Amino acid sequence: MSAGGKYRRHVAAALMLMPLVIFLGLFFVWPIVSMLSEAVSDPVVVKTLPSTTEAARRWDHASPAVPIMGQALVDDIRATTDDQAMGDVVRRLNSAKSGFRTLMMKTLSAARGSTGPLDLTTVDPRWQDNGYWEAIAAASGSRYTDRNLLAALDYTRNPQGQIEALPPSASNNADIFKRTFVISGLVTLMCIAIGYPFAMLAASVTGWKRQLLLGAVLLPLWTSLLVRTAAWIILLQDQGLINSLLQALHLTSGPLPLLFNRMGVVIAMTHVLLPFMVLPIFSVLIGIPGNLMPAAQSLGASKLRAFWHVLLPLSLRGVASGALLVFMSAIGYYITPALVGGPRDQMISAVIAFYSLNTANWGMAGALGIILLAATLALYAVYHRLTNDRPVKV
């Protein structure tokens, strides 16, 4: 083939890949990059309050700040016409020190409603508190910050710039991260314990029986997540079906606490995620020749031994991909723990949702997302090592 023809085929191949590349770029790379930059960039105060930023460098952090920074702030406010940029400044400052919202609302209207010098302490006596100025100074240090990433792991920087741990009563993200992985791990184990025998059964029968078994797994998958979770609330509550049945059979004297605790979360999440375990295992199992087990038994192996040495190693790939699917889906769960869990069963997504939906603190939401992504990638690397080190023997 001529060089030109080869080149043309390369271009054609590259063009056919374009939709995939564009898709990955738009929906995978771009969100992650913007999340990362949201988490570490802190430009709003530097950009919107330039003279205040300048003045903050001259302040010694001990003397009253108003004579040094006050008029600069007023000038910056009067120079800004962009309400949204000012809104970003207010949100950023209030997140560092509570009270900035109402303080800035008063100050904005006072500064815009007047000209010339303005004494901020007469606008609001709170400006005499250097704590507010300290927050402005900290926010105008640089365009980049590690405070979100530190806060996501329960650390902060003190005014001297040293990293110190936040008390557990103020922040417990590390605990919630740990809990997220523990719950996801438990759910994965439960899914293997229930899903493996189920997939074996479904693979061993044929015709309508197989259809029925697979239908039983797939049907819930087509139902809304909320409906399935609500159904579990009805089943698990104190006066629910399960507790009523147990008491009617005199197995328990009072209702078992099944709802609003870890038990409820694991049960409901296992049910929701079970299809993602059953289907990969099933698809591997039906690909295994049916005569291998009888062959092993004809060579004298007991059923259990034949399973342990033949079927299980062969189907391990299905288990591994199922476990990965379930675990990865589980760590992002939010609605199910919120509805059937207790306060100690909330997972990290709930915290991320709080920052992104309620307080519009994209920096914190991004930082938590990055920690979650990093932890997940690390776990995936471990998984990759494990599955590669133990090649499947046939």
The footprint of another protein (CB under 8 A) covers 8, 11-12, 15-16, 18, 82-84, 86-88, 90-91, 94-95, 98-102, 104-105, 168-172, 175-176, 233, 237-240, 259-260, 338-339, 342-344, 346, 351, 354, 356-361
Kindly report the number of other CB atoms within 10 A of residue 105's CB atom.
Answer: 12
User: In the beta sheet, which residues pair with residue 157?
Assistant: 163
Tell me whether residue 82 or residue 389 sits nearer to another protein (CB atom): 82
Distance linking the first and last C-alpha atoms of the chain: 42
Amino acid making up residue 298: S
Tell me whether residue 86 or residue 367 sits nearer to another protein (CB atom): 86
Tell me whether residue 158 or residue 239 sits nearer to another protein (CB atom): 239
Helix H or strand E encompassing 312: helix 312-331
With a CB cutoff of 8 Å and minimum separation 6, the contacts of 57 are none
Min. distance of Cβ 294 from another protein in angstroms?
52
Min. distance of Cβ 46 from another protein in angstroms?
19
Structure tokens at 169: 């009563």
Min. distance of Cβ 302 from another protein in angstroms?
49
Min. distance of Cβ 82 from another protein in angstroms?
8
Tell me whether residue 253 or residue 358 sits nearer to another protein (CB atom): 358
Of 228, 198, 224, the residue nearest 213 (C-alpha): 198
Min. distance of Cβ 357 from another protein in angstroms?
4
Min. distance of Cβ 50 from another protein in angstroms?
19
Amino acid making up residue 357: L
Tell me whether residue 191 or residue 351 sits nearer to another protein (CB atom): 351
Min. distance of Cβ 173 from another protein in angstroms?
9
Tokens 């999340």 sit at which residue? 35
User: In the beta sheet, which residues pair with residue 165?
Assistant: 155
Structure tokens at 254: 């009072």
Of 254, 383, 274, 389, the residue nearest 326 (C-alpha): 274
Tell me whether residue 254 or residue 289 sits nearer to another protein (CB atom): 254
**Strand 163-165 relative to strand 155-157, pairing:** antiparallel
Min. distance of Cβ 4 from another protein in angstroms?
11
Q: Are 281 and 322 in contact (CB under 8 A)?
A: yes
With a CB cutoff of 8 Å and minimum separation 6, the contacts of 11 are none
Tell me whether residue 42 or residue 88 sits nearer to another protein (CB atom): 88
Distance CA 62, CA 176 (A): 38
Tell me whether residue 42 or residue 311 sits nearer to another protein (CB atom): 42
